[in-house]
Amino acid sequence: MVTTCMDRTIEFEHRLETREARIGIIGMGYVGLPLALLFSEERFRITGFDIERGKVNKLNQGGSYIVRIPGTEIQLAQSRGFSATADFSQIAQIDVVIICVPTPLNDHHEPDLSYITDTVRSVAPYVQNGQLIILESTTYPGTTEEVVVPLLEQGNPSGLRLARDAESDGFYVAFSPEREDPGNDTIARRDVPKVVGGCGPAALEMASAVYGTIFNRTVPVSSPAAAEMTKLLENIYRCVNIALVNELKQLCMRMGIDLFEVIDAAKTKPFGFQAFYPGPGLGGHCIPIDPFYLSWKAKQFDFDTRFIELAGQVNLAMPYFVVENVVEAMSQRDKALRGARVLVLGVAYKRDIDDLRESPSLTIIELLKQRGAQVEYNDPFFAFVGRGRKYDLNLTSTSLDRIPEFDCVVIATDHSQYEYSMIVQKARLVVDTRNATKGIQSANIVRC
């Protein structure tokens, strides 16, 4: 008997509705772990895959390594069948495989897809007929169809190919960009619409059905490339507007104008304006990176994304701008940066999260050290900062009781735990990059 497209999709959706479908999520980080917990809340049996055995062991012991996710949530998920593993052979037992791995830039600001390609090569030998593979990692348009699909086909010993319709044997592939916003407690994850693009109508229908079990709305688009471009547009929109206010901040400082006052006034307009705020640079996994992913891909089409690249460059230059302001502020107090003691407040890339990815604070620390300063930091979310892809600090968080010992305190991340009036009172000099000291009057404050 020939199985029709409708028969297959109905069977797949039935397995979702009855929670018989098993879901595997690769990458138990800031995207993958929250996603796994969402599926677990809906009573799916979830397997979390990660190559870091420390994470796997922590999860299987009922613990969490992400501050905003308490261990009790992991334990509750375990009671519903959640487990973690580094054994990719278990992929063969999974119905839906969702890939949530990093996509950083290399030293030349070009896309580094090694996490994706290594993951797909690890998955390919175990892919089964009828299995759905979904990529969530932010990347340039074309990655899903030009990179992921060929690697799956080349690495599968059974010779399975991509199935573009439900009448064909093979595996299904889709792309759905993650839309995580760490630290945002005002919007529930399930209320964020889920964009989905499939390699064919069957994959699109299946992926939409999967996400429809945990999100209140799915947004189908015509292709994986359209979904990939959607994510880039969202983040480049933010990148460009933040670059705009970062550049205006530098101009306003020369003109003696408070840009934050200007923004507060402008945002009273009920149409045509959205407020963005300047800072010491951009952090996180997406916004600092996405412009360079798109500009790299655009060159294959003989197109220069000059406007977008300029925005990326403006934001990359902000830590240097901060350090120059530290030098100038100390010079006005007859103090050289070389040999001075500097305390950087906050190493997370934004307020009230435990995420170091692409944090401008780390760049500021390294630049200050290169200038000869003795640099320490404080962050309530990081007792120690060791070595990462782009930093090698090996520093321990310093007590705020020691603020009077430092020649300068740089507010790099405006955590809500900080008592800024106390910091200003104790510090000899405060360089505020976040307008965290708004409303506090002191000759010791330099805002940049």
Condensed to tens digits (0 to 9), the pLDDT of residues 27-73 reads 999 999 999 999 999 999 999 999 999 999 999 999 999 989 999 99
| CB count in 10 Å sphere of residue 47 | 21
- Distance (Å, rounded) from C-alpha 222 to C-alpha 203? 11
Residues 6+ apart with CB under 8 A from 231: 138, 177, 178, 179, 195, 286, 290
Q: What is the DSSP string of 356-379?
A: -TT-HHHHHHHHHHHTT-EEEEE-
Spatial CA neighbour of 244 closest among 305, 302, 308 = 308
What strand order describes the sheet that includes 132-135? Answer: 83-85, 45-49, 22-26, 96-99, 132-135, 172-175, 194-198, 218-221
Backbone conformation region of residue 415, classed left if phi is above 0, alpha if psi is from -120 to 50, else beta:
beta
Q: Residue 3 has what pLDDT?
A: 44
Nearest 5 degrees, angle CA 8-CA 13-CA 19? 130
Q: Residue 4 has what pLDDT?
A: 47
User: Homologous superfamily of 5-222 in CATH?
Assistant: NAD(P)-binding Rossmann-like Domain (3.40.50.720)
Active-site residue flag, 286: yes
- Distance (Å, rounded) from C-alpha 58 to C-alpha 18? 30
Residues 6+ apart with CB under 8 A from 366: 391, 393
- Distance (Å, rounded) from C-alpha 411 to C-alpha 431? 6
Catalytic entry in 100, 286, 408, 448? 286
- Show the low-confidence residues of the chain (pLDDT under 70): 1-7
CATH of 223-316, one of 3.40.30.10, 3.40.50.720, 3.40.50.1820, 3.40.50.280: 3.40.50.720
* Structure tokens belonging to residue 100: 């949530």
- Distance (Å, rounded) from C-alpha 196 to C-alpha 175? 6
- Distance (Å, rounded) from C-alpha 210 to C-alpha 224? 16
Rounded to the nearest angstrom, the gap between the alpha carbon of residue 330 and the centroid of all alpha carbons in its chain is: 34
Residue tagged 């040999």 (tokens):
339
Domain with residues 317-448, CATH architecture? 3-Layer(aba) Sandwich (3.40)
Q: Residue 6 has what pLDDT?
A: 54
Q: pTM of the entire structure?
A: 0.92
Residue ranges of the chain assigned to CATH 3.40.50.720: 5-222, 223-316, 317-448
Nearest 5 degrees, angle CA 98-CA 391-CA 49? 20
| Phi, then psi, of 84 in degrees rounded to 5 | -120, 150
Q: How many CA within 13 A on the CB side of residue 268?
A: 5
Q: Residue 7 has what pLDDT?
A: 67
- Distance (Å, rounded) from C-alpha 252 to C-alpha 249? 5
